[in-house]
Amino acid sequence: MVTKLIAPKPGEGVEELTVVAWLKQVGDHVEEFESVVELETDKVVTEFPSPVSGTLLRIDVAAGDSVKVGEVMGLIGEAGESLEEVAEEPAQVPQVEEAPVEEVKQEKPVAAEKPAAKSSFLSPLVRKMLDEHQLDPDQIQGTGAGGRITKQDVEAFLSSPQKEAQRAPEPKPELKEKPAQPSKAAPVPTDLSGTLIPHTSTRRQIAARMVDSVQTSPHVLTVMEVDLSRVLAHRKANKDKFSADGVNLTLTAYFIAALAKALSEHKIVNATWTDEGLFIYTDINIGMAVALGEGGLIVPVIKQVQNLSLKGIASQVNDLAERARSKKLTPDDVRGGTFTLTNHGTAGSLFAMPIINQPQLGILGTGVMQKRAVVITDEDGNDSIAIRPMVYLSLVFDHRAIDGESGDNFLADVKKTLENWSD
């Protein structure tokens, strides 16, 4: 019996996914619950398991292409099994409103005509790339199933010397009113030698979000230096105890705990700007940026931090970071953040100006911890020089909602909590 691999619905509001890579090829044996394809949505890459054991008989969506929720991505069955009955079925999943039976039946006869086929089988991702570069799909040779144009086909065409000569007609004036694209990219140089490295879908999403954030919020940066002596002393005293419970106690947990305390006291920072007013969140959900090397970064979210102990926070940090790097996050793991923490100091950076994760109002960057000579003033006003573990905290906030004094007071409270840490 042939089983369809149906594109899943990962969460509310998600109607489309991108196929990152097939982990199995046609003819390969697949065990039940074994991952067969990597899917991406909202910067999350997850592995999709096979619902049955069998042989991968067909792949319907190429890597780099988009697929709607409910559509068939491929078929699994017995080796040599006939696919005729499956191919005759008019609709894959009835609940998918975007692809009713009537529409599918109407498209099939037209597919033989080249112009119609070119436009009918354009995925949203490919269509967007064509629009961005003003390309005519009829000028691009499709290598996908049925002559379908894939993301790789567009990228190959963009790197070819014939691109400029085959550019589509100039867009209509109204296209200028469309939202700004991630960047006003320069054309691929034709007079200089070099190598074109195509953008991944993740990189394109990151670029679009960063540009959108800068265009949306007036970013303001404030920086404070923090003495982590008490935090390190507490960590040293409790690290083994946490480890015995399977929890790695990192500095990130302390930063998140301090942020949660400050956010509970400065509620306007834990909010979103709307035309009607500030929407103050009840829960404190802190996202933490996790670097994925060449794969960019992802921001899983620790939910309801106000209800968690330091051990609970540390456990969540461990779990989300591990699943982020192993591509095991779910779409829900990256949604619902109200504030973000990013540790840019892992490579030695002292301080930076991170970009706000919209629609949040602030983001905190932590620099590298360094032992430095600082002036210490005792209770009697006497000064001395001491070696202390210091770190710069960089707060970037949305000036539409948060004034300079409010931002400084918020960061000062984070600093106070860390420098006076106690059980």
Close Cβ partners of 274 (under 8 Å, ≥ 6 residues apart): none
The domain boundary residue, chosen from 69, 99, 129? 99
CATH of the domain at 239: 3.30.559.10
Same domain, 246 and 351: yes
Helix axes 229-244, 404-419, angle to 10 degrees: 60
Among 59-68, 94-103, 188-197, which stretch is predicted with the lowest mean pLDDT?
Answer: 94-103
Range of the domain at 41: 3-99
Same domain, 139 and 94: no
The domain boundary residue, chosen from 178, 205, 232? 205
Length of the chain: 423
Close Cβ partners of 354 (under 8 Å, ≥ 6 residues apart): 340, 342, 344, 363, 364, 365, 394, 396
Instruction: Give this prediction's pTM.
Output: 0.64
Residue 210 in any domain: the answer is no
Concerning whether 29 is annotated as a catalytic residue, the answer is no
Same domain, 118 and 67: no
Q: Of residues 403, 408, 413, 423, which has the active-site annotation? A: 403
Q: Of residues 319, 399, 408, 413, which has the active-site annotation? A: 399
Between the ranges 1-15, 96-110, 151-165, 340-354, where is the mean pLDDT highest?
A: 340-354
Residue 105 in any domain: the answer is no
Concerning whether 403 is annotated as a catalytic residue, the answer is yes
Same domain, 181 and 266: no
Number of structural domains found in the chain = 3
Residue 362 in any domain: the answer is yes
Same domain, 183 and 246: no
Give percent of the chain above pLDDT 70. Answer: 79
Same domain, 142 and 275: no
What is the distance between the alpha carbons of residues 311 and 134, in angstroms, rounded to a whole number?
A: 53
Condensed to tens digits (0 to 9), the pLDDT of residues 101-124 reads 333 333 433 333 334 444 445 665
Among 82-96, 292-306, 356-370, which stretch is predicted with the lowest mean pLDDT?
Answer: 82-96
Q: Which amino acid is at 247?
A: V
The domain boundary residue, chosen from 205, 234, 256? 205
Confidence label for 171 from pLDDT (cuts 50, 70 and 90): very low
Confidence label for 163 from pLDDT (cuts 50, 70 and 90): low
Condensed to tens digits (0 to 9), the pLDDT of residues 200-237 reads 767 777 788 889 899 999 999 999 999 999 999 999 99
